[in-house]
Chains A and B, each alone.
Chain A
Amino acid sequence: MFKFGLLLFSVLFLIPYNIFGDTIRGTSGEKFEGEKIVVVSISGDQGEFLKKVAKEWENQTGATIELNLIPFGELQDKVSVALSAGAYVGDILNLPAYMGGDLMGNGFIEEVPEDVKARIHWNDILSLYKQQTEWGGKTYGYPWDGDFHSMYYRKDIIENKKYQNDFKKIYGYNLSAPKTWDEYYDIAKFFQENVSELKYGSVELIMRKNQGFHGYISRATCYSKMPDNPSFFFNPDTMDAEINNPGFVKALEDLKSILAYSPPDMTNYGWMENVQAFVGGIAGLDIQWADVGPMSLNPEMSVVKGKVGFGMTPGCMKTWDARKSRWQTFDQVNYSPYAAFGGWQILVAKNAKNAKAAIDLASFYGSPDTLKKASVTGGSGVNPARFSTISDTSVWIDTGFSESDAKGYLNMVEDVLMHPNAVFQLRLPGYIQYQDALELAVSKALSGQSSAKSALDEAASKWNSITNKIGKKSQKRLYRASVGL
C-alpha cells in the first residue's frame, strides 16, 4: 500500500514537477537561500516589472531580487563607466541590444550555458532574435524583448465606405492599408485633408537623440535592402558606409515630404508623444514599436480601442542595389521590416557576485512562460520574441483584444519577425556615434539646412571616420559576422 502510495505521489506530483515545473519556469530547481541578486534595468514600470514577474522565482529559490533602476538617458553611461572601471554594477543587466557590440564583444558578459539553452527551449526563440543574443558565434544574451517597427492605421476610417469612395475619386485606386511608402503618403494626405475625425495624417519617430535613427531606418530599409544581399548599413567588403546611396536619399526625401501631413512638432516627438498622438486619435497612421497594440486598448490613454489595424512597415516597388549601383524594380512590393532598437535583453555580468543564481534567474526571465506573460502585460516594455508567444491567441484575447484584432496583431508580428528580408538593429561598437551622425543628417535635411543628399554625404563621411577611429579591420569583421557573412 505504501509503495502504491509512493508511486501515485510520484506520478501525480514529482514527475510533472520535474518535467514541467522546472522546464516551464526555465530554472534549475536549485535553492539559493539568502542570496541577493541585483538586477540593473531602466527606471519605471519596465524595470519594476522585472521584480514583480520574478516573485515566483524568489519563492522557489529563497533568493531575493534587488533592483538597481537607472533612467534611460543615463543607463548606458552608468553601466559603461562602471564596467570600464571594473566596478560591479549588478548581477543581471537588462540592456538594449545595441550595446551588444561593446559588452559582448569585449568580455563583460557571461556566456549562456548549453544546458540552460536546452532548458528554456532555445529553438522556440524567433530567428531574428536569436541574432541579438549572439556575438562572434557565442551566445551571451537570454531572450527578453523582441523589438521591431511596424505600421498602425485607423482601420475604422480605411473601412468607411464614404471615405473609400472619396479616396478612389481623388487618387484613382482603392483605399486600404498602405503597402508602399507612396501609398502611405497618399493616405496620410487624404486623412489630413479629408477626414474630419483626424487632425494629422501620420506620426513617426524622427527626433534627434530620441529614436530618430530608428524612425528613419524604418523608411530606408525597403529602398536599400535587396532581398539577396544581407548587408545594408555598410559595404561588407570595404566597410564604407552605404547610408548616402540613392536608396537612403530617396527615403529621406520621402520622410521630408510627409512632414506636411504630420504634427508640426513631430521632429521633437519622443516615443510616448508619438504613441499619444496615435492612440489619442490625432493622427491616422503611425510607425512604431509593437507596444502600440496593447496600449491602444488602455482606456486611460486611448480613444481608438478596436479601431486599429496592424501591418508591416510599407515596402517599395524599387530598391537600390548597392552592389550593382542601380535601381532594381519589382513586380511585387519589396518589404524589409526593421528590428528597430533590437529589444532589451537579459545579460549576466562577468563580474556578477552570484553568477550561478544570476544564471538561474536569467533563465527564468527567458523562459517561454515568463515571456508570454511579459509580452501581454502593458508597461512591461516587452514585445514578443518567441513562437510560443505569438502562436497562443488566448493570452492576447485575455488582455482585451477582440479575437480578430488579436489574430491581426499576431499575424503582423509573425510577418515581421519571420521576414527573410528583415534588417536587424546595428550593433557595432561605437553604435551611438553612428546613430548620432545619421540623426544629425536627418535633422538637417528635415529642417532645410541641407539637401537630403548633402546631409547624408556628410553623415557617411562621419561614419567612415568613426569606423577608422575604432578600427576598420575589427569593425569590418564584426559587421560581416552580424549579417551572417
Chain B
Amino acid sequence: MEKDILAKRVFLFPSTYLLLILTIFPICFSLAITFTNYRLLGSNDLEYSFNNWSQLFSDKNFFIVLTNTFKFVFIGVIFQFSLGFAIAQLLNSKIKYLKFFRITFLLPMMMSPVAVSYIVGKMLFSETFGPINDLLSFWGLPLFNWSLSPIKSMALLIMIDTWQWTPFFILMLLAGLQSIPEELFEAAKIDGASSFQIFTQITFPLLLPISSTVIFVRIIESFKVIDIVRIVTGGGPGNTTETVSLYAYDIGLKGGDIAYASTIAYALLIMVIVFSIIYFVLEKHFKKISGNE
C-alpha cells in the first residue's frame, strides 16, 4: 500500500513540479512585483509599497482603456455569435457547394492576426490607397475615413476581429447543430411548428450549453487583444481604441515599468475572474429556467 502511494507521488511529481514552476510561480512572482518599484534595466534597490495600486486607482487612462476593452469584447462577441449562428444554420442546411463554403468560412481563423490586421486594416481600409474607399467613391457613397474618428476606429477593429473569429463560432455551433437528432425537427414539423418556433423552442435551447461555452472562451480571449489594435490604430485616435493588454504591454515592456504593468495585468485578471463567476452563476440560472440543467 505504502509502495503504491510512493509510486503515485513519483509519477505525479513531474506534472506538479511543472505546474508550480510554469504557472503558480509566475503568478505569485508577478503579484509580489506589484508591491515594488521594479524596472527593467533599472537599479536593483527595490522599495516595497502600495504605490502601484494607489496609482492604478488614480490613473484616468486605465479606466479609459478598460472601458475600450469592454466595448471591444462585448460588441465584438455579440456580432461574432450572431453571425456565426446564422452561418452555421446555413451550412447545416442542404445547399450547393457546401464543402467549399465550409472550408472557405474557416480560412480567416487560420490566418495570423498580424497578417489579418495588415490585410484588412492597413490595406483594404487604407483611406488613401485602399480599395474600399475607391469603391465607395465610385458608387458616390461617403468615404469610410476612420483614422480620426474614435467610433469608426473601434468599429473597424471589431470588424476585423469579427471577420477573423466568426469561423470559430461557426465551427463549434455547426458541430452542435449536427449533434441534434433529426427526429426532433421532424416531430416539430409534423406538430405544425413554424421555423421560428423550431428555432426558439428546439435549436436555440439545445445549442445553449455549447453556445455559452464558446461565448465564454471568446470573451476571455478577447480581453487579451493586443495585436490588431497595435497594428491598425496603435490605440488611437487619442487612446480611444487602446486596450488594457496593450496599455500594460507598453508600460511594462516598452517603458520598463514592469511593476506598474503587473499591477494593471493583475487588475484585469481580477476583473476577468469576477466576470467569470458572474457568468457561470447566470449560466446556471438560465439553464435551470430553460430546463437544460
Contacts and interface: CB of A to CB of B under 8 A. Distances in A.
Interface in B239-259: 239-240, 250-251, 253-257
A264 B128 contact: yes
A268 B147 contact: yes
B40 A84 contact: yes
Given A265-B147, A432-B256, A447 B236 contact: yes
A436 interface: yes
Nearest to A207: B234
A102 B257 CA distance: 12
A311 interface: no
B80 interface: no
A443 interface: yes
Interface string A187-216: 000000000000110000001111000000
A433 B251 contact: yes
B128 A430 contact: no
B41 interface: yes
Given A268-B233, A447-B148, A449-B240, A106 B42 contact: yes
B246 to A, nearest CB: 9
Contacts of A199: 128
B291 to A, nearest CB: 49
Nearest to B254: A432
A467 to B, nearest CB: 13
A266 to B, nearest CB: 8
Nearest to A434: B255
A470 B236 contact: no
Interface stretch (A75-83, A298-306, A320-328): A75-83
Interface in A73-112: 73, 76-77, 80-81, 83-84, 102-103, 106, 108
Contacts, number: 112
Interface residues of B, number: 35
Contacts of A406: none
A347 interface: no
A301 to B, nearest CB: 13
A447 B150 contact: yes
A440 B127 CA distance: 22
B15 interface: no
Contact of B128 (A81, A265, A469): A265
Contacts of A432: 250, 254-256
A263 B235 CA distance: 20
Nearest to B149: A447
B54 interface: no
B58 to A, nearest CB: 10
Interface of B is mostly: loop
A80 B256 contact: yes
Contacts of A84: 40-41
Interface in B107-158: 122, 126-128, 143, 145-150
Interface string B51-63: 0000000000100
How many chain A residues sit at the interface, stated as a range, is 35 or more
Given A265-B127, A267-B147, A470-B39, A443 B256 contact: no
A443 B237 contact: yes
A209 B233 CA distance: 9
Contacts of B237: 267, 443-444, 446-447, 449
B102 interface: no
Contact of A447 (B40, B143, B238, B255): B238
A448 interface: yes
A350 to B, nearest CB: 12
B145 to A, nearest CB: 5
Interface in A426-452: 429-430, 432-433, 436, 440, 443-444, 446-450
Nearest to A79: B41
A277 interface: yes
Interface string A244-267: 000000000000000100011111
Given A80-B41, A209-B250, A263 B128 contact: yes
Contacts of B148: 259, 264, 267, 446-448
Interface string B220-243: 000000000010111111111000
Given A83-B41, A447-B237, 9 more contacts: A106-B43, A199-B128, A265-B145, A267-B237, A430-B256, A432-B254, A433-B256, A447-B150, A447-B240
Interface of A: 73, 76-77, 80-81, 83-84, 102-103, 106, 108, 199-200, 207-210, 259, 263-268, 277, 282, 429-430, 432-433, 436, 440, 443-444, 446-450, 469-470
12 contacts: A77-B253, A102-B40, A106-B42, A199-B128, A208-B235, A208-B236, A209-B250, A265-B145, A267-B147, A268-B232, A433-B256, A449-B150
Interface of B: 37, 39-43, 61, 122, 126-128, 143, 145-150, 230, 232-240, 250-251, 253-257
Which 9 residue pairs across A and B have the least CB separation, nearest first?
A447-B237, A265-B127, A433-B255, A444-B238, A77-B253, A209-B234, A102-B41, A263-B128, A432-B254
